[in-house]
Structure 1
Amino acid sequence: MRIGAIAKQAGIPVETIRYYEKIGLLPEPVRDASGYRSYRQAHLDRLLFIKRCRNLDMAQDEIRELIRLAENPDADCSGVDALLARHLDHVRDRLRELASLEQTLEKLQAACSDGGTVSECGILGGLTSELDKLDMASDHNHVPGTHGQGHS
């Protein structure tokens, strides 16, 4: 099948499929006589696997490692379990970060003076002082999907 057809079946944009090929998550398909990529069922299965992993907020390196582990079906599954445990630790850390973020936003919202002017806005004033505190307290920024295996 061609790239448009596999993109539709997988529910993944064509550009993303090309990107997965470029970074090695998806093997490049053979080309037919007219030069078009010819995808097989194995490509669709891999795309759906990647999509499920991405829906779990797994990073590319984590997905790559899972694919590597899956290529040896008779091996002990402790590597898969360890990877998932690290990812679960990351998710739990992120939940704590989000709970802290929620508290900060609630405090800022409570600072709003009803019906005041922008110059009197407690939220804007609080953001100025809160950002200073957050910059000093935060040791990293989280961007979904960018955590590595070594981070918890």
Structure 2
Amino acid sequence: MRDIAAMTAEAAGPLEMVNIRFPNVEGKPLAGCEAGNIVYVFTNGDMAICPYLVFAARTRVSQHPDTDFLVGNVWQHYDVAIRLDAYGKFSDRWDVGGNPTCGACSLSPSCGKGCPAAVVAAGKRIGAVDTEQCPVVPPQTRALLLVGVS
């Protein structure tokens, strides 16, 4: 993944490359979540605080309904700005990294706790460790956390 990021950065030219779900520099804390900072409108008018969270919530293993991440529909609701304000900040609504592993980690104060959509897609509740990208969780522990053994 790091090789792909390096190759695409060289080829980007005047384009801005946005690498989603790419690992950070080895040993560095995870990036934060942008949910709620960029609003996404689906073609049917549904407005999401993050399309990846909606897609993840629609998987069979998700413990979250997609409505946790949808704030309204631009074709049906004329109060979309009020709905966005009412949803509030994602970090105020959800405790990303709210688990013992992140709580005990020395990187926690500078860590963005990774991608909540990856956590939801793995069948966990928001707050669980983003085991795919966490630089602290050992590979053998990642497999156990993914299947729900701790």
TM norm. shorter chain > 0.5: no
**Larger C-alpha radius of gyration, 1 or 2?**
1
Q: TM-score, normalised by structure 1?
A: 0.25
Q: Choose between structure 1 and 2: higher helix proportion.
A: 1
> Normalising by the residue count of structure 2, what TM-score does the alignment of the two structures yield?
0.25
